[in-house]
Amino acid sequence: MARFRVFYVERQPKEGGGQIDLRAAASRPGSYFKETDWEEQVDAANATAALDSFFREHAGNAEGVMIIQEDGLGHPVEGIDYDPDRTYVWVEEGKLMEYQGMAEATEGAVSCPLCDGSGEVDEEIAQEFTDIWHNNEYVEGES
């Protein structure tokens, strides 16, 4: 079984933003005041199965997920054969969520804490960085 890194973003609406419209969500990115990038690791046989597992956990079922089509609008997903190269949106705990893509994780590696997850490093190196950072042992300008 392979491990996949699933990337997604959480968008919180502006005060008084009202109800989130998944069909128009992609066409109105300025109507959100805060975005938070997330990453989650999923074990699955392949990328499609990883995405299916991810959405079952985060969106409940296929009815809660919409695919962004070429017209820039959200459309209901037909079936559960998710395409990892497409863009999907759903609402989770009142926040608009958008799937950003995935990558197969490397055995023994974790998301790089220094580069906000855009790469991978050995688990030991990541833990060393995290320990130093959280213990405030790092002083800028010192090596």
Domain definitions of the chain by residue range: 2-105, 107-143
The pLDDT value recorded for residue 137 is 52
Give the model confidence (pLDDT) of 4-42 as tens digits: 989 999 887 666 555 565 655 554 555 556 788 888 889
Q: What is the mean pLDDT of residues 87-92?
A: 89
pTM of the model: 0.69
Q: Which helix (H) or strand (E) holds 35?
A: strand 32-44
Residue, of 137 and 126, whose pLDDT is higher: 126
The region, left, alpha or beta by phi > 0 then psi within -120 to 50, assigned to residue 141 is left
Residue, of 2 and 126, whose pLDDT is higher: 2
pLDDT at 43 exceeding the cut of 50: yes
Q: What is the DSSP letter of 141?
A: T
Q: Which of 120, 88, 126 is nearest to 9 (CA)?
A: 88
How far apart are alpha carbons 39 and 8 in whole angstroms? 6
What SS3 string covers 72-135? CCEEECCCCCCCCCCCEEEEECCEEEEEEEEEECCCCEEECCCCCCCCEEEHHHHHHHHHHHHC
Note the Cα 60 to chain centre separation in Å. Answer: 16
